A and B are shown apart, each in its own frame.
Chain A
Amino acid sequence: MRLRLTFTKTDSLKYIGHLDLHRTLERTLRRAGLPLAYSQGFNPQPKMNLAEALPLGITSECEVMDVWLETHIDLEQAKKDLDRATPPGMQILSLNEVDERLPPLQTQVVAAEYRVTVSGGVTVDLASRARELLSQDSIMRERRGKHYDLRPLIESLSVEENILVMKLSARDGATGRPDEVLKALGVEGEQVHRSNLFFVP
């Protein structure tokens, strides 16, 4: 049985990285008593996939994971068991069975939406800075010694009630990072939150 879970990653959990989150989820699933399916081989691991790594320090309400189980389970009961087993900062938002034959989750992500509370907030004219950034044809940036163009990775950028909302590409090899957009805007994010993940239709 293949399960798809949507969950939050907030509070202290925003300080743990991708691998640690993986392990935290593994333990959460074990505590919930779900009949995890394990990989074959010398060092069996539970079969699970996370949709899209979340950079350290960012909170989220839209993390998605697939996990394989050895037997069919009752979803309502599983939800209850999971609610007992999640650490603070993690809340299971939804739990569905999905078709076993669907392609791997991480190949299906296309974009992510982030909502950012900017330091200094109202004093900065965010909207005009955003418009100016979007009007550029290319935004050359350097990250870890590599030059790349940030502009095509920004799908949309707007301001809603002093919150900066950005939709960034999240395709394989073309993933926009919110901190890079903030640097390009010349502002600092006080709180960065992932509010949505978009998948191949």
Chain B
Amino acid sequence: MSNDTITDMNYFEIQHALDRVLLTVSKPGRYAGGEYNQVVKDWSQIQTRVALAFPDIYDLGMSNLGMMTLYKSVNDQNDLLAERVYSPWIDMEEVMRRENIPLYSLETKHALTDFDLIGISLPYEQLYSNVLNLLSLAHMPLLAKDRDEKFPLVIAGGHACYNPEPMTDFIDAFLIGEGEEAIVDVARCVGEWKAQGKVGGKTELLSRVAQLEGFYVPSFYKVDYNSDGTIQKVTPTHADAPLTVLKRIVPVMPPPVTRFIVPSIDIVHNRAPIEIMRGCTRGCRFCHAGMVTRPVRERSVEEIVQAVGEMIRSTGFEEVSLLSLSSSDYGEISTLVKAIGERYAGKNLSVSLPSLRIESFSVDLMDQLKDTKRNGFTLAPEAATERMRRIINKFVPTEQVLETAREIYSRGWHTIKLYFMIGHPSETLEDVQAIADLCKAVRAEGKKIMGHRAQVNAGVSTFVPKPHTPFQWSPVADVETSKQKQALLKSQLRGLKLNWNNPFETQLEAWFSRGDRRLGKVLLEAHYRGAKFDAWHDHFSYETWREAFAAADLDIAFYNYRQRSETEIFAWDHIDAAVKKKFMLQDWQWSQNEKTRVDCRDQCFACGILPKFSQLRQNTPAEAWECPTVTPKELRGQLLVSNTVSLEAIA
């Protein structure tokens, strides 16, 4: 067995080294672990050990609900343990490299190489360079092919993994979709293989993982390219690799996390979050989350109310946040808000309810939550002309925005935060001008009500076309165009607080959003040139990435600026998010004709969820999903149930 594992500092040596160095770095509390509610299991008694890694610093990673959800999923199992890992900040990284301290888990200070499975959270593309740095800090080879069975299996999951291709050189397997059950499956799979003496080596393990629902093993696929650089075909090269990998979902949302780890230091979000609903029925065409998190599933009011009580008791947090992609659409939102408001909200606990629709009713909801501080009220019109709102399928008339603004100011909020995007397909300077006009119009309403105290903060981000959305065919606005539009807004909105994205940073997000596996070379080249913390403005260097592209002999324009043809095979086509490409193409075409779709709670548009998950739908209670129920074939004709669709009708 001596040759079976990698030998690095043991946990005792790491703890000892930390005691020597931690007082020399900023915020040492980030690296110490030992917080209230952390789960420490007896290492020697558990056979299969999982490290859950978030590739950014503790302050950000600790606020991530996905990490806590998986931490609970794994630690709820008696035969498994999960511990946390975050990226060290620059100063701590220097110390670790100097002292040869490997990246370690916070709970027991074991080196990452002591674990059997490393699960990396990848919610957004700006973290990719940090993943490479994380592997390097863990004293592991960066390339998956250079890691044999002595190393832990490295998997990744999260929203960015719906196009995993740019990261395929580094990650052994990707979990596509929801992780609550899948993480347990893969951990047991690894555990069983380990118990069998790692039979068949890493290839055997990967072939087993490839057979698990929702897992994608990239080394089992071959990509061929056309002479113009686009993809010709993606072919499985291993008998156990499916043609397409269908995302994993949980039919019903499992019990929510309530025993959050309570950080002992100040972090980004000091609050206990609860997901009240997963998915969204609105169908905004730019929205990645809205497409990939279907079907819509809600938690019951009772479950949420009870969970909030438990969260308060078990964390002592001063804020609870009710999360979803569109809180106003939660079926029983009035009942929920009333119950939470009456029971818990008050001067000593604030309840936040983000993602509200632009309508007066939202102001009623916030009122019931006793938001006494009235700091700011956020609205996200995203676009300011009616034409553009039809194109993106988020249609809110300007008058409705103003009416809502009047309501907000007249009930005592001083500041309205307005979120917009520039760079939508076919956007003109007129559409951008309209954003400035709308901001000014909202402030003018405020001034009528409360005079100069009325404020508007505008957040204007740049649109990035995302895979698995109707806008996946669209080019990205180039840096010059974005700068021109931002300049227009800056000149028009003097005296108003305006936030915008660095257009160069947007390019990075865009390359990787719709990139292919050739970008692995770019990532590696950028890593060698010191790229990390690309999500941090001070650390992002466009020049580094430009050099990396040149070194990898790849063209930035190819990934971002070309109009993709409707027949193009995308790098992520073999990853099945369950919404059909045909549906998205139709939506893309509708968009060009300014044709909108209504909320799919009102009408099923057969996006593809039901045929893909028909069995799951049939086995799940009708009220658990917002999608209509599916009539099994043999019963059809005998039953006449409203709001039921036949599979043929939607297939």
Q: Which residues of A contact B (CB under 8 A)?
A: 11-13, 15-17, 19-20, 23-24, 26-31, 33, 36, 38, 42-44, 56-57, 85-89
Any A CB within 8 A of the CB of B373: yes
- Is the beta-carbon distance between B373 and A43 smaller than 8 angstroms? yes
**In the bound complex, how far is the Cα of B34 from the Cα of A171, in angstroms?**
32
Any A CB within 8 A of the CB of B28: yes
| Also in contact, A20 and B316, with CB within 8 A (given A12-B32, A12-B34, A36-B348) | no
> With A23-B266, A26-B318, A88-B35 given, can you name 6 additional A-B contacts, CB distance below 8 Å?
A15-B23, A15-B31, A16-B29, A28-B316, A56-B28, A88-B36
- Is the beta-carbon distance between A12 and B29 smaller than 8 angstroms? yes
| Also in contact, A12 and B33, with CB within 8 A (given A30-B316, A33-B313, A87-B262) | yes
**In the bound complex, how far is the Cα of B266 from the Cα of A16, in angstroms?**
10
| Also in contact, A44 and B314, with CB within 8 A (given A12-B29, A56-B23) | no
With both beta carbons as reference points, the residue of chain A lying nearest to B18 in the complex is identified as A15
- Is the beta-carbon distance between B373 and A24 smaller than 8 angstroms? no
Of the residues B23, B36, B318, contact of A87 by C-beta under 8 Å: B36
- Is the beta-carbon distance between B265 and A20 smaller than 8 angstroms? yes
**In the bound complex, how far is the Cα of B262 from the Cα of A86, in angstroms?**
11
With both beta carbons as reference points, the residue of chain B lying nearest to A36 in the complex is identified as B348
A-B contact pairs, 14 of them (CB 8 A): A12-B29, A12-B32, A12-B34, A12-B264, A16-B29, A19-B266, A27-B318, A28-B316, A30-B316, A36-B348, A38-B347, A57-B28, A85-B316, A87-B36
Interface string of B15-26 (1 = CB under 8 A from A): 000000011000
Any A CB within 8 A of the CB of B317: yes
Any A CB within 8 A of the CB of B315: yes
What residues on B are CB-neighbors of A36 within 8 Å?
348
Of the residues B32, B38, B314, contact of A15 by C-beta under 8 Å: B32
What residues on B are CB-neighbors of A15 within 8 Å?
22-23, 28-29, 31-32
Number of interface residues of B (CB under 8 A): 25
Which secondary structure characterizes the binding site on chain B? Answer: loop
| Shortest distance between the CB of B308 and any CB in chain A (Å) | 14
- Is the beta-carbon distance between B313 and A16 smaller than 8 angstroms? no
With both beta carbons as reference points, the residue of chain A lying nearest to B33 in the complex is identified as A12
- Is the beta-carbon distance between A12 and B35 smaller than 8 angstroms? yes
**In the bound complex, how far is the Cα of B261 from the Cα of A12, in angstroms?**
14
**In the bound complex, how far is the Cα of B318 from the Cα of A11, in angstroms?**
25
What residues on A are CB-neighbors of B315 within 8 Å?
27, 31
| Shortest distance between the CB of A105 and any CB in chain B (Å) | 22
Interface string of B575-604 (1 = CB under 8 A from A): 000000000000000000000000000000
Q: Which residues of B contact A (CB under 8 A)?
A: 22-23, 28-29, 31-36, 38, 262, 264-266, 312-318, 347-348, 373
**In the bound complex, how far is the Cα of B314 from the Cα of A43, in angstroms?**
23
- Is the beta-carbon distance between A13 and B34 smaller than 8 angstroms? yes
| Shortest distance between the CB of B376 and any CB in chain A (Å) | 15
**In the bound complex, how far is the Cα of B35 from the Cα of A72, in angstroms?**
30
- Is the beta-carbon distance between B34 and A31 smaller than 8 angstroms? no
| Shortest distance between the CB of B36 and any CB in chain A (Å) | 4
**In the bound complex, how far is the Cα of B253 from the Cα of A3, in angstroms?**
43
- Is the beta-carbon distance between A27 and B316 smaller than 8 angstroms? yes
- Is the beta-carbon distance between A87 and B313 smaller than 8 angstroms? no
What residues on A are CB-neighbors of B347 within 8 Å?
38, 44
What residues on A are CB-neighbors of B34 within 8 Å?
11-13, 87-89
What residues on B are CB-neighbors of A23 within 8 Å?
266
| Also in contact, A42 and B264, with CB within 8 A (given A20-B29, A31-B316, A87-B35) | no
**In the bound complex, how far is the Cα of B266 from the Cα of A23, in angstroms?**
9
**In the bound complex, how far is the Cα of B459 from the Cα of A171, in angstroms?**
49
- Is the beta-carbon distance between A31 and B29 smaller than 8 angstroms? no
What residues on A are CB-neighbors of B314 within 8 Å?
31
Of the residues A24, A44, A57, A89, contact of B348 by C-beta under 8 Å: A44
| Shortest distance between the CB of A16 and any CB in chain B (Å) | 5
With both beta carbons as reference points, the residue of chain A lying nearest to B106 in the complex is identified as A12
With both beta carbons as reference points, the residue of chain B lying nearest to A11 in the complex is identified as B34
Of the residues B23, B264, B318, contact of A57 by C-beta under 8 Å: B23
**In the bound complex, how far is the Cα of B28 from the Cα of A60, in angstroms?**
18
| Also in contact, A13 and B348, with CB within 8 A (given A56-B28, A88-B34) | no
**In the bound complex, how far is the Cα of B594 from the Cα of A145, in angstroms?**
66
- Is the beta-carbon distance between A27 and B317 smaller than 8 angstroms? yes
What residues on A are CB-neighbors of B348 within 8 Å?
36, 38, 44
**In the bound complex, how far is the Cα of B31 from the Cα of A150, in angstroms?**
33
| Also in contact, A20 and B266, with CB within 8 A (given A36-B348, A87-B34, A87-B36) | yes
| Shortest distance between the CB of A42 and any CB in chain B (Å) | 7
| Shortest distance between the CB of A100 and any CB in chain B (Å) | 21
With both beta carbons as reference points, the residue of chain A lying nearest to B25 in the complex is identified as A15
With both beta carbons as reference points, the residue of chain B lying nearest to A19 in the complex is identified as B266
| Shortest distance between the CB of A69 and any CB in chain B (Å) | 13
| Also in contact, A31 and B313, with CB within 8 A (given A24-B264, A38-B347, A42-B373) | yes
- Is the beta-carbon distance between A16 and B23 smaller than 8 angstroms? no
**In the bound complex, how far is the Cα of B348 from the Cα of A36, in angstroms?**
10
- Is the beta-carbon distance between B373 and A20 smaller than 8 angstroms? no
What residues on B are CB-neighbors of A13 within 8 Å?
34, 264
| Shortest distance between the CB of A157 and any CB in chain B (Å) | 23
The 4 closest A-B pairs by CB, nearest first: A12-B34, A27-B316, A30-B316, A87-B36
What residues on B are CB-neighbors of A28 within 8 Å?
36, 316
| Shortest distance between the CB of A109 and any CB in chain B (Å) | 24
What residues on B are CB-neighbors of A29 within 8 Å?
316
What residues on A are CB-neighbors of B23 within 8 Å?
15, 56-57
**In the bound complex, how far is the Cα of B32 from the Cα of A73, in angstroms?**
35
With both beta carbons as reference points, the residue of chain B lying nearest to A56 in the complex is identified as B23
| Shortest distance between the CB of A2 and any CB in chain B (Å) | 19
With both beta carbons as reference points, the residue of chain A lying nearest to B312 in the complex is identified as A30
With both beta carbons as reference points, the residue of chain B lying nearest to A21 in the complex is identified as B264
Most buried by A among B32, B33, B35, B36: B36
**In the bound complex, how far is the Cα of B629 from the Cα of A144, in angstroms?**
70
What residues on A are CB-neighbors of B316 within 8 Å?
26-31, 85
What residues on A are CB-neighbors of B22 within 8 Å?
15, 57
With both beta carbons as reference points, the residue of chain B lying nearest to A55 in the complex is identified as B23
**In the bound complex, how far is the Cα of B314 from the Cα of A24, in angstroms?**
13
**In the bound complex, how far is the Cα of B38 from the Cα of A26, in angstroms?**
18
With both beta carbons as reference points, the residue of chain B lying nearest to A86 in the complex is identified as B36
What residues on A are CB-neighbors of B36 within 8 Å?
27-28, 31, 85-88
**In the bound complex, how far is the Cα of B316 from the Cα of A23, in angstroms?**
10
**In the bound complex, how far is the Cα of B373 from the Cα of A24, in angstroms?**
23
**In the bound complex, how far is the Cα of B34 from the Cα of A20, in angstroms?**
14
Of the residues A16, A30, A33, A44, contact of B264 by C-beta under 8 Å: A16
